[in-house]
Amino acid sequence: DGGITQSPKYLFRKEGQNVTLSCEQNLNHDAMYWYRQDPGQGLRLIYYSQIVNDFQKGDIAEGYSVSREKKESFPLTVTSAQKNPTAFYLCASQGARPGKNIQYFGAGTRLSVL
Amino acid sequence: SQQGEEDPQALSIQEGENATMNCSYKTSINNLQWYRQNSGRGLVHLILIRSNEREKHSGRLRVTLDTSKKSSSLLITASRAADTASYFCGPLTSYGKLTFGQGTILTVHP
């Protein structure tokens, strides 16, 4: 899992509650990403950030929010507006080497609804 | 979307056999990457092939790329039970964005 740390590993959300997933990296990467993975499915991009204090919506941003106040950190908040939050959430970071752009992933957070 | 589409969805083989997975994508790419995911874990980068390359090797892995057909294949030779995992291709767009398909679930029986 390289230098990407996601916490917690398991998270439970009650109805109407906002929860925040943590993602920290020590790889000095500028870009960071959040993906959602449903059982037996591929990864869908929620949000990404290519530089501090800037982030962009991905393909399924509704019901989620992010911040990027520090280069090392890119937390994801699953809001109460996300009606089907149960999934496996993956955070990744990416360096800027020309022609490379390899992503390094954390171990994931599994979110369930109580 | 630029999503990579892997084929087959599932592949079951015996240890020692070769495993071939295919990937198709829709538009121009800078490079194409293959990743592996063990159950319940994050993805791990395996190999990258640039748009001007046709074939690349890394250990037991061989990747080919045909940009005219917008397709790639990943060959794992002499497979082992430890190769059991899901494999994803990630076409990289000119905007630096990777998109992944549903993956191929590979099961290698001892």
B57-89 residue pLDDT tens: 999 999 999 999 999 999 999 999 999 999 999
- Whole-number pLDDT of residue A42: 85
- Whole-number pLDDT of residue A96: 75
- B79 close to B16: Cβ distance less than 8 angstroms: yes
Residues of A whose CB is below 8 A from B1:
59
- How far apart, in Å, are the Cα atoms of B16 and each of A4, B13, B60, B77, B82? 33, 9, 11, 8, 12
Distance CA B87, CA A30 (A): 26
| B19-44 residue pLDDT tens | 999 999 988 888 999 999 999 899 99
Confidence of residue B1 (pLDDT cuts 50, 70, 90): very low
Cβ contact, residue pair A108, B3, below 8 Å: no
What's the alpha-carbon Rg for chain B, to the nearest Å?
13
pLDDT at B18 over 60: yes
Please report, for chain B, how many H helices and E strands are present, in that order. 0, 10
Cβ contact, residue pair A31, B1, below 8 Å: no
CA of A43: which chain B residue's CA is closest?
B100
Conformational region of residue B53, where left means phi above 0, alpha means psi within -120 to 50, and beta covers everything else: beta
Would you tell me which residues 84-113 of chain A have a C-beta closer than 8 angstroms to some C-beta of chain B? 88, 90, 92, 94, 99-108, 110
Chain A contact present for B91, CB below 8 A: no
pLDDT at A1 over 60: no
Q: Closest by alpha carbon to B74, among B99, B106, B98, B96? A: B106
Residues of A whose CB is below 8 A from B97:
45, 48
Task: Pick B42's closest partner by Cβ from A1, A40, A101.
Answer: A1
- How far apart, in Å, are the Cα atoms of B59 and each of A5, A77, B105? 28, 40, 21
Q: Which residues pair with B41 in a beta bridge?
A: none
Residue whose structure tokens are 């106040």: A69
Chain B interface test: which of A102, A104, A109 (most B C-beta within 10 Å): A102
Cβ contact, residue pair A40, B48, below 8 Å: no
SS3 of A62, please? coil
Please report, for chain A, how many H helices and E strands are present, in that order. 0, 11
**Per the structure block, which two tokens stand in for B88?**
């994803």
Confidence of residue A104 (pLDDT cuts 50, 70, 90): very high
Residues of A whose CB is below 8 A from B45:
102-104
